[in-house]
Amino acid sequence: FQTHREFDAHELVATCFDARSGLNAIIAVHDTSAGPAMGGCRIAPYQDMDAALTDVLRLSRGMTYKNIMAGLPYGGGKAVIVADPKAQKTPALITAFARRVGQLGGTFVTGEDVGTTVEDIQLMRQVTPHVRGIPENGPGDPSPMTALGVFCGIEAAVRHRLGRGDLAGSSVIVQGLGAVGFRLAELLHRAGVRLIISDLDPQRLTAARTAFGATIIEPDRCHAAEADVYAPCAMGGGMNARTIPELRVAIVAGAANNQLSTPTDGERIASRGILYAPDYVINAGGVISTALEGPGFDRAILLARVKRIATTLEEIFGRAAGQKLATSQVAEEMARERLVIARTRATQT
């Protein structure tokens, strides 16, 4: 484990085993300078512990960047449980995991992710207070706020790159019509956007075509369709050496996590003159929604905070243009700058 490249960048990496429930998990706390590490709990049938470790370390660092760029008083962390969520997820497993989260005493706060549901989080809440995403405590499902943040981000990108004051008459490809993508398509449709859509699920496609009069495109060719904006809202890793040369858009701005296959893919997109909205900045609406839940939850404050994603993106776009850097490089630079400030403050208190 210690030989792992990301390992020493983390404050804490805890393995969690429980023979009785079969729990086999890793909790990674990347950075707590800005506050407790917050990140979801993913349940997936990883091939081995090394694959699980690689994923959790990458994701927890990503959460530090996401939270600090969203201006939240949280650091970054993530948990993975090695299990098939369909076949091996039991109440005993969830409870055993929650006990481990509780043992960390609030250093790590967790919530829903791939493989976990609101019901799982509610069960965890019976064991530890250090969970977020309980519908009774605030906004509930984070996806609508993720979609709103992406919508505002697309508006900012279109303003910056195409000089248009609004989206009416623009065209956007939405890849993936799930919890986020469908809502994003709805917002775009209302703003007068011409939609090109793709999904693996025929029912979702039919629903979106009927509701928004959208044009359907084959999933494997959707990145290569011609439009103003490409909004990846399905899986990560879609921007790579094969797909980037085939893009026929001015802007890439969508909800999917980890869109760049490698860090240099950000530069590859920029070198084609395409404006990329860094994923962990534009898709932060959900985490903002989760962070603001609790007593005194105020929807107006939440909406204002989510809309501020556009302002952060404008700063990134402006700096990238001024310094002739890729937006991915500038976002990383800004996240590091903010981390240095948070670390200095943390050591002074």
Residues that bind ligand NAI in the complex, under the rule CB under 6 A:
142-143, 146, 175-181, 198-201, 204, 219, 233-236, 255-257, 283, 286
Closest distance between ligand NAI and the C-beta of residue 294, in Å? 18
Nearer to ligand NAI, 42 or 100 (CB): 42
Q: Is 294 exposed, middle or buried (0-12, 13-18, 19+ CB in 10 A)?
A: exposed
Phi, psi dihedral angles at 20 (to 5 degrees): -65, -45
Assign 196 to helix, strand or coil.
strand
Nearer to ligand NAI, 21 or 259 (CB): 259
Token pair 């439009």 is at which residue? 227
Closest distance between ligand NAI and the C-beta of residue 67, in Å? 12
Q: Which of 66, 78, 86, 324 is catalytic?
A: 78
Token digits for 306?
């989510």
Cα 69 from Cα 72, distance rounded (Å): 8
Strand partners, 16: 25
339: nearest Cα among 33, 35, 67 = 33
Token pair 């050591």 is at which residue? 347
Q: Give the nearest residue (CB) to ligand NAI.
A: 178
Nearer to ligand NAI, 104 or 138 (CB): 138
Residues 6+ apart with CB under 8 A from 311: 156
Closest distance between ligand NAI and the C-beta of residue 157, in Å? 17
Closest distance between ligand NAI and the C-beta of residue 103, in Å? 27
Nearer to ligand NAI, 23 or 156 (CB): 156
Could you confirm whether 66 is annotated as catalytic? no
Active site positions, annotated: 78
